Amino acid sequence: MHSLRNGFGVAVGNGNNVRISGSVFSNNTNAGLETDGAGQIAVDSSVISFNLVNGLLNNGTMSISNSDITFNQTGITGTVTSFGNNRIFGNSAAGAAPVVGAASTDHGQQ
């Protein structure tokens, strides 16, 4: 999926759950990705870049893995959970540092 030059790349409303992989969110005027209070979004292997205000704007639940958050006005606004393998650089302001997700008993990537 590519979402370019919109108000929001993807905006997730209350009560909605979205999974995104292998996508690009760029040059959006408000945010590349946004969640409302009870919305959830999980992002993997995606690029969030050149958004005019926020790369990630989280008011709900958001997790990121293996993604680039680059060249936005603010990289991250709100609390975002990370698997620790993202690249966050070149933003005018980094914003909030991601929180590393809690370890689980699974043998998969943490």
CA geometry: angle 35, 10, 51, nearest 5 deg: 100
DSSP SS3 for 96: coil
Nearest to 41 by CA among 87, 7, 9, 73: 9
Tens of pLDDT along the chain (110 residues)?
A: 889 899 999 999 999 999 999 999 999 999 999 999 999 999 999 999 999 999 999 999 999 999 999 999 999 999 999 988 999 999 999 999 999 876 555 545 54
Strands of the sheet containing 54-58, edge to edge, are 8-12, 31-35, 54-58, 74-77, 93-95
pTM: 0.89
